[in-house]
């Protein structure tokens, strides 16, 4: 898989490689409680980071212009969410050339490697519809999977818990490391997080069927890609 990394042989290769390695290593540790990790929460956390990183990369490359490349949708509570094809194509490849940058293709590859058969592949349309239909309701931030396979936290709360770790991995400033490593530019965050979605599905295959893991991961990614940055990082988020 290394040969397919889109940042390979580029000026940001070292920083991106380190960010990916540290994210894969440290996210499970962040979620381990009493020596154990809840598979569904772990997979959902991977999806949360991937979805939100996709939004961050998109807005860094193409600042949002309402009605042109993105839309804002409000709900009764007054909260606003991002919708639009440009955002969706950060998650789902528009062309084959985009497959090594998008969470859907990389996470699905992990699910197939974990034993998922073609007929078990979750439907993308159904996942996007589920996320859109639950926003503003009591099931917001929860996956469509059965209750026993839900994460321990709704997606937004889970993202708030793990995003600071993702930022540390992207920054190259690791506590106790004794030195700073090259940072991964925000333009690569989406691709790095997408690659970080492949292995976890294989890691939990003995306790979580890969088709369920893929649904959890992808629906969480879709939802978190829509969140207002000020609601995740605070009022100072840009």
Answer whether residue 28 shows pLDDT above 70.
Answer: yes
- For residue 86, give every residue at least 6 positions away whose Cβ sits within 8 Å of its Cβ, in sequence order, or none: 58, 62, 69, 70
Answer whether residue 1 shows pLDDT above 50.
Answer: no
pTM equals 0.94
- 71, containing H or E segment: strand 71-74
Kindly report, residue by residue over 136-184, the tens digit of the pLDDT: 999 999 999 999 999 999 999 999 999 999 999 999 887 776 777 899 9
Return d(Cα 200, Cα 39) in angstroms, integer.
Answer: 9
Mean pLDDT of 123-132: 96
List 73's β-bridge partners, or say none: 81
């Amino acid at each position: 898989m290394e040969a397919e990394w889109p940042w390979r042989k580029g000026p940001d290769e070292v920083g991106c490689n380190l960010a990916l390695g540290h994210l894969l290593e440290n996210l499970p540790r962040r979620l381990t409680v009493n020596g154990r990790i809840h598979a569904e929460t772990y997979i959902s956390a991977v999806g949360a980071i991937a979805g939100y990183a996709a939004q961050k990369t998109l807005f860094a490359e193409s600042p949002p212009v309402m009605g042109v490349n993105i839309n804002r949708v409000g709900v009764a509570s007054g909260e606003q969410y991002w919708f639009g094809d440009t955002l969706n194509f950060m998650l789902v490849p528009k062309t084959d050339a985009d497959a090594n940058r998008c969470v859907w293709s990389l996470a699905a590859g992990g699910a197939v490697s974990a034993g998922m058969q073609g007929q078990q592949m979750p439907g993308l349309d159904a996942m996007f519809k589920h996320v859109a239909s639950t926003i503003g309701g009591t099931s917001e931030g929860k996956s469509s999977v059965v209750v026993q396979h839900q994460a321990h936290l709704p997606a937004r709360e889970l993202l708030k818990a793990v995003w600071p770790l993702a930022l540390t991995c992207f920054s190259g400033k690791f506590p106790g490391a004794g030195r700073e490593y090259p940072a991964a530019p925000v333009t690569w965050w989406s691709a790095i997080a997408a690659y970080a979605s492949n292995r976890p599905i294989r890691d939990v295959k003995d306790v979580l069927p890969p088709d369920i893991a893929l649904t959890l991961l992808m629906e969480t990614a879709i939802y978190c890609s829509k969140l207002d940055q000020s609601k995740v990082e605070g009022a100072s988020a840009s």
